[in-house]
Structures are given as C-alpha cells and as structure tokens.
A and B are shown apart, each in its own frame.
Chain A
Amino acid sequence: MSVTDNLTLSRLDSYVRWGWLDRGAQKRGAAGWMARLGIRAASPEAPVVSLSGGNQQKVALARLLHQDCDVLLLDEPTRGIDVASKAQIYELIGRLAAQGKAILFISSYLPELLGICDNLAVMRRGRLGEKAPVAEWTEHAVLSAATGATR
C-alpha cells in the first residue's frame, strides 16, 4: 500500500465527499502529516515498504496522530530505528505533551525514559510498582525497582 493509503487508513471517512473518497484531499492530508513528522519518501504514492524503518515507524505514528486522540499509548515507538528518527520522535512527543495530550510511553531503554517523561512508573512481573516524578528517579533506582532489589 502507498504511504497515503497507509497513513489515512483509519480516518478514510474524513475524506469522503458525497459518498466518494476524495483522493486529492486524502493525498494532501497525508502530505501534511509527512511534512509535520519529517517522513522521507519519494512521494505520498510510494509503497510504504520502500521506506526506511524509521520512516515506516513515523508513518505508523502519523496514522495514530491522525485520529486526534487525547491519550496516546506508545509501546516502544523508537525500537529498531535510526538515531535521527529517534530524535524527531522525542521532539514530536514533547510537542504533543505541550498541546495537552496525555502520553503513556512504554520503553525498556532507560536514557530515553529519563529524558522525556514527566512521571515514571516501573512494572515488575506484570505488576505496577513504584511511581514518582522523573526527577526522583535515577537509572540505578529504576533497575532496582525492576529487578526487585531493595532500594
């Protein structure tokens, strides 16, 4: 599928005019999201599989943002992608939080958690453990909480 189709798949209804899909509007909508997230593709019509991993991830993220929800659940959104794309995604998360959206960010990579979260909670063996503002956490404390070692 093309980047356009992929990005707009869950919001196709918003491009329907008189019962028909307005392909021009759909393409413009997708192009807008591509610009906002810095998605690099030959064109909005390029197949999504032809994109790099980082750009594919950003397409998936754009599809979520297209829903315009107030709460976002991001499970490992930066896994397996290049450093530049990671930085863009962090920046985007910051902007979304500034707009007042609640973001539940799940990751096993400590530096990014300590870098972008406001509050941090640690899960251990499927149970929610300690939670506190991020300023009160250190890497060591997170690891201790995760492994069950006493703090």
Chain B
Amino acid sequence: MRRLGPLAGLALVFAVFSLWAGPPFYSRYNQVTLLTQSVIVAAGALGMTWIILAGGIDLSVGSIIALVTVVIARLLEAGWPPVISALAGVAVGGLCGALNGLLVTRLGLVPFIITLGTLLVYRGAATGLAHEQKIDAPITWLNDMLTKFPEPRWMLVASGVWLALLLAIAMAVLLEHSVLGRHAFAIGSNEPTARLCGVRVERVKLYVYLLGGLLTGFAGLMQFSRLTVGDPTAAKGMELDIITAVVIGGGSLSGGQGSVGGSLAGALLMTVIRSGLSMKGVPNWVQDVLTGGIIVGAVALDRYRRGK
C-alpha cells in the first residue's frame, strides 16, 4: 500500500487535469508528450534513487548532464560514429559519478559538500570543453531518441522512452534482488551497524555513485537528443527536479527508503503538473508557487501516512 502512494497521487493529479483541461490533456498525443518530456528527469531520478536510499545525495547531476551533452557533441563533430559518441558520453557520466564516490569515501566529508564542489567542477569542465559556447553537432539518429513521432509507428513512443523503461526495470530488479541493492539499503538505514555486520561500506558506496553517474550519463544523452547541440549551460538546476522526483516518490533524505517505481511516478507527477498548468495558461509565477506547495504537501502527506 505504501508503495502505491506516489502512483495513486499521479493518477489523481492526472485525473484532475483531465477533467479541468479536457481532451487536449488526456489525448494520446499529449500522453506521449508527457512521457517523452519526463524521460530526462526520470533517468536522473533512477540514479538518484540509489544514491539517496544509500544515505547520500548528488548535487552535481545537472552539471554532469551538461558535460555529457558537450562530450557527445564534440565527438560527433570530430566525426565519431553516433553509437561510440553516445557510449562515451554515458561513460563520462560514470566517471564523474565514480569521482564523487571516491571523494565521498576517501575524504570522509558529507556528500552534500563534496557534490556541491563537483557541481562547479563539472560545470566548469563542460564550459571549458565547449569554449564557452554551444557546440553544433551533425544531425544523427541520436536526435530521434526523444521524438514524439517515432518511426516505425508501432513503437508508440520513442526509443529513449523504451530505453529508460528498460533501465528502470533493471534497476528495480537490481535493488530488490542483488546483494549490492540490499547492502545499499542497509547503509542508508544505519551505516555504523551495516559496517559492524560486515558490509563493505566504502566499496558499496563507490558502486552506488558509479551507477548513479552512469544513469545520469544516460540522462545526459537524452538531454543531448532533445537539444541536438552540446550546451554547457544545459540542465542548470535540474538536480533539484531530480531530487524532488525521488523524494515525492517516497525516498527519504536520511536514507534507507526509496523505490524505482516511486521515483518514476514522482518524475511523471511533476511533468504532469507543469504541463497541465501551462496548458491552462496559468502564469509561470503561479505555476512555481503551486508546484512548490504540492512538493511540500505531497511529502508531508507521505510522512504522515507512515506515522513518523
């Protein structure tokens, strides 16, 4: 029942907007649009789910996404095939995540401070690599990964959405049915006790940040697909959207709680709210105020239901 909370919230909000905004909102076209729009935040939230439930946080994900778009654009520009460029971009995300993990475990500082630092480092690296401007890249099939009109039509949604869904299933299985997943939960619940129980805390954390970085790298690939350019200013502030998705989905910032399904529902919920409000022509400032209120309200309701 607890797990269904975020999904029920999503269904409720979707129903409310469907009644309010009518067919344009619940049309199949708009459903595809909503799914496609939420892929970047959802992919980032997959990685953040691991990090948050292991008791950590990663503020640098927005910068990693920007760096990944720049790396992919640079490689395409230099004539590398799209597959290699995309994989290299994801690998750079993994590298950034691993560096975060190394700093967190070796320096013993709280992840908030470490990743506040790397937020600037990675953003700076992206800007430097791009010579402070957008990098135009040749148009390739990478730019079709988030199209609203996928070819062939039986795909229903673009390949990026399917990939994100596959990754989500893989992560849900890994969290539930792997030693790494259970150890991540144990560390988030009570790190000293997990250590006493023989969990290799440092190693598990490193893997968690590496995995988080790879998934953020995938989010970066999706961001590139949407932008079609490498943009060192992309995804500024997106770390907060991603963290919000996880928290709305039942993740606890003190660790030990979180689920893939919840985080995906959280990411979709925010897209639905933003898109529904702008479809009704609600001014931006009202949207911001409402969204903020809904975030606090949703999490407060969730904690209240759990009796904490």
Binary contact readout B255-283 vs A (1 if CB under 8 angstroms, 0 otherwise): 01000000000000000000000000000
Interface residue from B182, B189, B256 paired with A12 (Cβ < 8 Å): B182
Q: How far is the CA of A12 from the CA of B177 in the complex (A)?
A: 11
For residue A20, which residues in chain B have a CB less than 8 angstroms away from its CB? 177-178
Chain A: minimal CB distance from B178 (Å): 6
Q: Which of B175-210 contact A (CB under 8 A)?
A: 176-179, 181-183, 185-186, 189, 194, 197-199
How many angstroms from the CA of A10 to the CA of B193 in the assembled complex? Answer: 11
Q: Which A residues are CB-close (under 8 A) to B194?
A: 9
A123 at the interface (CB under 8 A from B): no
Contacts of B177 in A (CB 8 A): 20-21, 23
> Once the chains bind, are A21 and B182 in contact (CB under 8 Å)?
yes
Residues of B in contact (CB 8 Å), total 15
- Residues 84-112 of A, flagged 1 when their CB comes within 8 A of B and 0 if not, give 00000000000000000000000000000
Taking a contact as CB atoms under 8 Å apart, the answer to whether B182 and A10 are in contact is no
Q: How far is the CB of B303 from chain A (nearest CB, A)?
A: 15
CB-based nearest B residue for A11: B198
For B179, what are the chain A residues with a Cβ–Cβ distance below 8 Å? Answer: 12-13, 16, 21
Q: Are B185 and A12 in contact (CB under 8 A)?
A: no
Contacts of A1 in B (CB 8 A): 185-186, 189, 256
Task: Report whether A9 and B178 are in contact in the complex, using a CB–CB cutoff of 8 Å.
Answer: no
Contact A9 B197 (CB under 8 A): yes
Please report which residues of chain B, range 134-191, place their CB below 8 angstroms from some CB of chain A when the two chains form the complex.
Answer: 176-179, 181-183, 185-186, 189
| Distance, CA A63 to CA B189, complexed state (A) | 17
Contacts of B256 in A (CB 8 A): 1
Residue of A nearest to B176 (CB): A23
State the CA gap A5–B199 with chains docked (Å): 13
Complex Cα distance A5/B53, Å? 15
A-B residue pairs in contact (CB < 8 Å), sample of 8: A1-B185, A1-B186, A1-B189, A5-B186, A9-B194, A9-B197, A10-B198, A63-B197
Query: Which residues from chain A sit less than 8 Å from chain B, CB to CB?
Result: 1, 5, 9-10, 12-13, 16, 19-21, 23, 63
| B residues whose Cβ falls under 8 Å from a Cβ of A | 176-179, 181-183, 185-186, 189, 194, 197-199, 256
A-B residue pairs, 3 tightest by C-beta: A10-B197, A10-B198, A9-B197
